[in-house]
């Protein structure tokens, strides 16, 4: 008689489910990432600034050069410089801080294709889940600087200004965007479409961040807007 393939054979040992692939295991892993992340940022003994931007910019790119300079200026002002720990703008900011003798931190993410930690990070922590990493990034600093980038950079930018707008941050923050050529058209759209035409944001919302073009302008604004 042919056995029903959907009914376990009582003569065979039960198949054990891989617990590491179950929902409870994922919850434990998420909790562990939160604990490790908060312990990591709690070790920051001084003020910190987080820098975001494109991973694909090399050292000859103009924005890489600006981010490197800003990392240096931030370190000289006593800031721990925090980034996602990867290449591009993140590397540039960490590099500038490291070369200036400052503390250079990476809050990294595990990606399918891999994301290497840049060589200018002297302290790092890694995450599997994007959302746990984003929570750590939002708690890590009092200053957030955004250079031109891709979807990830824009995602982080909108996350931060939304948290600031809705007063969901645990502490006051300063947000700076660097690069008028890159950010200018989008900010103009904010003003004309979102604010004036649709009225889905207010003029006050447009003051949640400051647009600058150079590292020197950025550091001056940061120094004058300490929270």
Question: pLDDT: is 65 or 116 the higher one?
Answer: 65
Look at residue 20 and give its three-state secondary structure.
helix
Half-sphere exposure of 49 (CA within 13 A, CB side): 32
Amino acid 48: pLDDT? 96
pLDDT in tens, 114-167: 567 899 999 999 899 889 998 998 888 999 999 999 999 999 999 999 999 999
Question: Which of 212, 207, 172 has its CA nearest to residue 190?
Answer: 207
98 pLDDT more than 70? yes
Amino acid 149: pLDDT? 97
Give me the percent of the chain exceeding a pLDDT of 90.
Answer: 73
Amino acid 171: pLDDT? 87
Extents of the domains making up the chain: 48-224
How far are the Cα atoms of 13, 82, 151, 224 from residue 142, in angstroms, in the given order?
57, 11, 23, 13
What's the CATH architecture for 48-224? 3-Layer(aba) Sandwich (3.40)
User: The whole model's pTM is what?
Assistant: 0.87
How far is 163 from 173, CA to CA, in rounded Å?
Answer: 10
Question: pLDDT: is 13 or 22 the higher one?
Answer: 22
Going by the DSSP 8-state scheme, the letter that residue 17 receives in this structure is P
Average per-residue pLDDT for the chain: 90
Angle at 99 between CA 97 and CA 104, to 5 degrees: 35
Q: 76: which 2 tokens?
A: 């000289």
pLDDT in tens, 24-45: 888 999 999 999 999 999 888 7
Amino acid 225: pLDDT? 87
Amino acid 93: pLDDT? 98
Question: Which of 209, 222, 224, 225 has its CA nearest to residue 74?
Answer: 222
- Report how far apart the first and last C-alpha atoms of the chain are (Å, whole number): 78
């Amino acid at each position: 008689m042919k056995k029903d393939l959907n009914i376990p054979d009582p003569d065979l040992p039960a198949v054990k489910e891989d617990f590491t692939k179950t929902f409870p295991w994922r919850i434990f892993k998420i909790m562990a990432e939160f604990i490790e992340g908060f312990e990591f940022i709690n070790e920051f003994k001084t003020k910190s600034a987080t820098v975001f931007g494109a991973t694909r910019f090399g050292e000859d790119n103009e924005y890489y050069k600006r981010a490197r300079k800003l990392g240096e200026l931030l370190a000289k002002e006593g800031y721990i410089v925090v980034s996602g720990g990867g290449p591009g703008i993140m590397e540039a900011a960490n590099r500038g801080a490291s070369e200036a003798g400052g503390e250079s931190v990476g809050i990294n993410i595990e990606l399918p294709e891999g994301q290497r930690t840049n060589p200018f990070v002297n302290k790092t922590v890694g995450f599997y889940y994007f959302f746990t990493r984003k929570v750590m990034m939002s708690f890590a600093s009092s200053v957030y600087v955004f250079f031109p980038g891709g979807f990830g950079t824009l995602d982080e930018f909108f996350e931060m200004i939304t948290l600031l707008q809705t007063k969901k941050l645990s502490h006051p923050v300063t947000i700076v965007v660097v690069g008028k050529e890159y950010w200018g058209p989008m900010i103009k759209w904010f003003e004309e479409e979102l604010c004036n035409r649709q009225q889905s944001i207010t003029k006050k919302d447009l003051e949640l961040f400051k647009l600058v073009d150079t590292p020197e302008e950025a550091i001056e604004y940061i120094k004058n807007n300490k929270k």
